[in-house]
Amino acid sequence: MNTMQDKNIRSGAAAAIGSYVLWGILPLYWKFLQEASAYEILAHRICWSFVFMLGLLFFMKKIASFKQTTKILWQDKKRTFLLFLAALLISVNWFIYIWAVNHARILETSIGYYMNPLVSVFLGMIIFKEKLNFWKKVSLFLAGIGILNMTIQFGTVPWISLILASSFAFYGALKKMIQLDPIVSITLETFMVLPLAIVYLLYLVGIGESHFGFAYPHVTLLLLSTGVVTAIPLLLFSKGANILPLNVMGFFQYLSPSISLFIGVTVFHETFSFIHLFSFGFIWLGLLIFSFSERAAFRQPSSCS
Q: State the chain's mean pLDDT as an integer.
A: 84
Structural domain contains residue 54: yes
Structural domain contains residue 160: yes
* Average pLDDT, integer, range 214-219: 90
Q: Give the pLDDT confidence score for residue 61 in this predicted structure.
A: 87
Structural domain contains residue 84: yes
Q: Give the pLDDT confidence score for residue 246 in this predicted structure.
A: 57
- Determine the Cα angle at 73 with ends 70 and 200, to 5°: 70
* Counted domains in the chain: 1
Structural domain contains residue 178: yes
CB burial string 127-163: b at 16+ within 10 A, e below: eeeeeeeebbebbbebbbbbbebbeeeeeeebebbbb
Domain limits for position 200? 36-300
Contact 95, 249 (CB under 8 A): no
Q: Give the pLDDT confidence score for residue 299 in this predicted structure.
A: 57
Q: Give the pLDDT confidence score for residue 303 in this predicted structure.
A: 36
Please give the share of the chain, as a percent, with pLDDT higher than 90.
Answer: 30
Give residue 123's Cα distance to chain centre.
Answer: 16
Q: pTM for the complete prediction?
A: 0.84
Q: Give the pLDDT confidence score for residue 211 in this predicted structure.
A: 92
> What are the pLDDT digits (tens) for 267-276?
988 888 888 8
> What are the pLDDT digits (tens) for 19-76?
889 999 999 999 999 899 999 999 999 999 999 999 989 888 889 988 999 998 888 8
Rounded Cα distance, 251 and 238, in Å: 16
Structural domain contains residue 7: no
Structural domain contains residue 80: yes
Q: Give the pLDDT confidence score for residue 302 in this predicted structure.
A: 41
The torsion defined by the Cα of 200, 205, 211 and 215, in degrees rounded to 10, comes to 160
Structural domain contains residue 25: no
Contact 257, 110 (CB under 8 A): yes
> What are the pLDDT digits (tens) for 86-109?
999 999 999 999 999 999 899 889
* Average pLDDT, integer, range 292-300: 62
